[in-house]
Amino acid sequence: MKYSQRTNQSVKIDASGIYYRELNTKIRELASNGTQKIELRNVFGQRYIGTNINKPVEIDIFGTPGNDLGAFMNGPRITVYGNAQDGCGNTMNNGEIIIHGRAGDIIGLSARGGSIFIRDSIGYRAGIHMKEYQDQKPKLVIGGTAQDFLGEYMAGGILVLLDLNESQYHKAKFVGTGMHGGVIYMRGSIESHQLGKEVGISDLEKADWQILKKLVAEFAAHFSYNADEILRHKFIKLFPLWLRPYGRIYAH
Amino acid sequence: MKTYLPPQFLVERDVEKCIKCKVCANQCSFDSHYYDADDDEMKNRSENCVGCHRCVTFCPTGALMVRRNPLEYRENYNWRPEFIEDIIKQAESGGILLTGMGNDKGQRIYWDHLVLNASQVTNPSIDPLREPMELTTYLGRKPDRITLDSDLNLETELAPQVRLEVPIMFSAISYGAVSLNVHESLARAATEVGTMWNTGEGGLHTKLYKYGKNTIAQVASGRFGVHPEYLDTARIVEIKIGQGAKPGIGGHLPGVKVSAEVSATRMIPQGTDALSPAPQHDIYSIEDLAQLIYALKEATHYVKPISVKIAAVHNSAAIASGMVRAGADIIVLDGLRGATGATPKIIRDNVGIPIEMALASVDSRLRQEGIRNRASIVISGGIRNSGDVAKAIALGADAVNIGTAALIALGCRLCQQCHTGKCAWGICTSDLFLTKRVNPDIGSRRLANLLHSWSLELKDMLGGMGINALESLRGNRLHLRGVGLTDTELDILGVRMVGS
């Protein structure tokens, strides 16, 4: 494996042709040795980068990382200069993932902390069963839009769809089916037939704007947008109607 | 609405023996007993009785008896009382009927149609009181072949193995469904005996981290309490796809059972339903399963076996082949009689296949494909005694899980009220008044005793067969014969008829 140690704190790895297991073993080893920044060049589909890493290491990825980027991770900050694939941030606990491009399906599945920022659009089943506990609150901010089953069974956390490419309005169906916690903010509008039965729709209140402003400011800073311009547009809020959506369908 | 449902049980009190001590009223969590101060008498509401025998067991003077309500319907083979009463309940509620524990219906129990062999004359039986007997079992992927160097040291690198002193583990039962005291009882008993217990899908309370070496941690569709420390603490990580009591559906732990402690362990807010979706939405195929298996192997640095649990269904053999090829080190099959803390009754009683058939067909299929060594097989769902364990091993299981049997050891009387959260035995509840009824010192003793008894019996059976190691019985179906089975059944079981 070709890698060069710039300083004790910063390491650069050329990932071309390296099997994911070897690459991830090296990343784990570097992270546990106190390396603060790892730069991966020529990444080409290697899976599980950053999986279950427990240190606040910074990982910069140039190329296309494979599935399950940052799964179970707890603390690192991963920046991808390119597109990401499926399962990014799967069951993530803490940390940050920033994608300068688009991402595939099941982004942020069951995440319970940390933030994911994606510049463009994402695929199906994003944010399913995201949950929160006390100060652990996952955030998923999408610059474009998402496909069907967004936020299904959502139990906590914050999902934001900015639809910056306004030519395509939100087309996702079955949004928030089974939702019983958390909140989804959408720039633009959505028809009620696109939503699950358990989802309410309303305008933003003052507290919502505060949360949204902070997240949009972060998003804009990552991808060089003007936050005020983004926020000038109409937003809606999707929320769960009940804490116990299915409590009533059972009998003893 | 007035209920048309007749009482299920009658509580009979011998007033001569009753000393009005109110133990029954305090013990009953279903409000079946009460003290009437005006009449200075203990009275009961039979319609609330669930037949759990808590009052009968704790009545100091033996004044109580609980009987099935002798009220008889007109004989009707088709319209049995259970079906009539289920319709009454649904007409009055409009909901899906929930129940607890496992399938109680009359589908054939194959264990009862299988018998074991013993040595007579031509080979000697072995006396386990005199000679050592080996029950040790290793779970995990075994190599296709091994190579030794010139000094006869093993050259082959082995996949992670987990050593069990007895081939019996505790089934996955989640914290939230059962109390922390039950989890602690299971964890301590498993540690004492040298076997494994299983967190189920509700996470692991930090108090129990010290039993990590004997802990299987589940990762299920809700991903409750799954975080780096949880994965690091466990000895085995298990992906739960399905369970025998409710194949194909998820689970809804009602918000009322999500107490402060349960909420901290599951990592969800107090009082919200803990909803486990039906599928894991990152697993829609064998390839996706492989992806999660290897995500967990990456996450645990390839030092822990990864187990995958499915409910036994029609195509189990083909599915199991896929699971093994996807990288599962252990596969767990949970049969038709597998139990649960809550399931739709219609699913519990009608979906899935008997574990005996699933085990036989999976073991045969993996052997035919030459991949049986790549994964251990663990089965569960209705193992009642050590005879069932011995038969399961002979049919091809590496080990078994016991859930219901373990809960019975703790006091469970199979009253099937787990889903109400009111368990009077303090097992399947998060009510702090009730959970104190399971004392982990006593609970772990009772569970360890049970495993000890079964181990002694297993050694007796092995000795009788003239073998001194469980490994010699494993998958050795020649030690089994079938009684009262059809040719097709015998063929699937890979067992010959008695007398042949």
The enclosing domain of B22 has a CATH number of: 3.30.70.20
Interface of A with B in 27-66 (CB under 8 A): 28, 47-48, 51-52, 54
Amino acid of residue B497: M
Query: Alpha-carbon dihedral of residues B413, B417, B419, B420, nearest 10 degrees?
Result: -130
Task: Say yes or no to pLDDT of A243 above 90.
Answer: no
Specify whether B207 is located in the same domain as B330.
yes
Using only C-alpha atoms, chain B has a radius of gyration, in whole angstroms, of 24
Rounded average pLDDT over A55-64: 96
Report chain A residues whose CB lies below 8 A from the CB of B90.
251
Report how many helices (DSSP H) and strands (DSSP E) chain B contains, helices first: 16, 21
Residue B118 lies in a domain: no
Beta partners for residue B253, in sequence order: B274
What are the tens digits of pLDDT across the range B16-29?
999 999 999 999 99
Interface of A with B in 218-247 (CB under 8 A): 243-247
Contacts of B100 (CB under 8 A, 6+ apart): B339, B340, B341, B342, B343, B416, B417, B418, B419, B420, B428
Please give, rounded to a whole number of angstroms, the shortest distance from the CA of A249 to a CA of chain B: 5
Specify whether B34 is located in the same domain as B160.
no
pTM: 0.95
Helix then strand then coil, in percent of chain B rounded to 5, is: 35, 15, 45
Distances (CA, A) of B395 to A243, B144, B182, B391, B475: 46, 21, 31, 6, 5
What are the tens digits of pLDDT across the range B75-117?
999 999 999 999 999 999 999 999 999 999 999 999 999 999 9
Taking an 8 Å cut-off on Cβ atoms, the answer to whether A244 and B273 are in contact is: yes
The enclosing domain of A198 has a CATH number of: 2.160.20.60
Q: Would you state the pLDDT for residue B275?
A: 87
Mean confidence (pLDDT) of chain A: 93
Cβ-nearest to B281 among A47, A67, A109: A109
Determine the Cα–Cα distance for residues B239 and B280; give it in Å rounded to an integer.
10
Which residue in chain A is spatially nearest to B287 when comparing CA positions?
A67
Substitution target from B98, B229, B273, B420 for chain A, most A beta carbons within 10 A: B273
Specify whether B194 is located in the same domain as B59.
no
Q: Which residues of chain B have pLDDT under 70?
A: none
User: CB–CB of B310/B323 below 8 Å?
Assistant: yes
Cβ-nearest to A106 among B96, B281, B299: B281
Residue B100 lies in a domain: no
Residue B114 lies in a domain: no
Determine the Cα–Cα distance for residues A240 and A248; give it in Å rounded to an integer.
15
Domain that holds residue B54: 9-95
Q: Would you state the pLDDT for residue A6?
A: 61
Domain that holds residue A170: 102-246
Model-level ipTM above the cut of 0.90: yes
Structure tokens, B155: 């050259």
Q: Would you state the pLDDT for residue B269?
A: 85
Residue B115 lies in a domain: no
CA atoms within 13 A of residue B462's CA, in its CB half-sphere: 26
Q: Would you state the pLDDT for residue A137?
A: 95
Q: Would you state the pLDDT for residue A101?
A: 97
Q: Would you state the pLDDT for residue B257?
A: 84
Specify whether B205 is located in the same domain as B295.
yes
Closest of A25, A90, A83, A116 to residue B292, by C-alpha? A90
Residue B107 lies in a domain: no
CB atoms within 10 A of CB B235: 20
Specify whether B178 is located in the same domain as B82.
no
Specify whether B90 is located in the same domain as B143.
no
Report chain B residues whose CB lies below 8 A from the CB of A252.
89, 93, 97-98, 419-420
What are the tens digits of pLDDT across the range A74-107?
999 999 999 999 999 999 999 999 999 999 999 9
Domain boundary among B37, B63, B95: B95
> How many residue pairs from chains A and B have C-beta atoms closer than 8 A?
132
Substitution target from B206, B231, B256, B281 for chain A, most A beta carbons within 10 A: B281
The enclosing domain of B476 has a CATH number of: 3.20.20.70
Determine the Cα–Cα distance for residues B373 and B391; give it in Å rounded to an integer.
20
User: Structurally, how many domains does chain A consist of?
Assistant: 1
Specify whether B14 is located in the same domain as B147.
no
Determine the Cα–Cα distance for residues A252 and B420; give it in Å rounded to an integer.
8
Q: Would you state the pLDDT for residue B226?
A: 93
B287 and chain A: CB distance < 8 Å anywhere? Answer: no
Specify whether B351 is located in the same domain as B250.
yes
SS3 label, residue B387: helix
Contacts of A241 (CB under 8 A, 6+ apart): A198, A199, A200
Find tokens 């928030």 and name the residue.
Answer: A176
Q: Sorting pLDDT into bands at 50, 70 and 90, what band is A168?
A: low
B119 and chain A: CB distance < 8 Å anywhere? Answer: no
Task: Say yes or no to pLDDT of A5 above 80.
Answer: no
Which residue in chain B is spatially nearest to A48 when comparing CA positions?
B295
Specify whether B484 is located in the same domain as B426.
yes
Beta partners for residue A10, in sequence order: A37
Domain boundary among B95, B127, B150: B95
SS3 label, residue A212: helix
User: Structurally, how many domains does chain B consist of?
Assistant: 2
SS3 label, residue A119: coil
Specify whether B31 is located in the same domain as B149.
no
Specify whether B202 is located in the same domain as B331.
yes
Specify whether B334 is located in the same domain as B402.
yes
Find tokens 């802990």 and name the residue.
Answer: B215
Residue A91 lies in a domain: no
B223 and chain A: CB distance < 8 Å anywhere? Answer: yes
User: CB–CB of B327/B294 below 8 Å?
Assistant: yes
Residue A28 lies in a domain: no
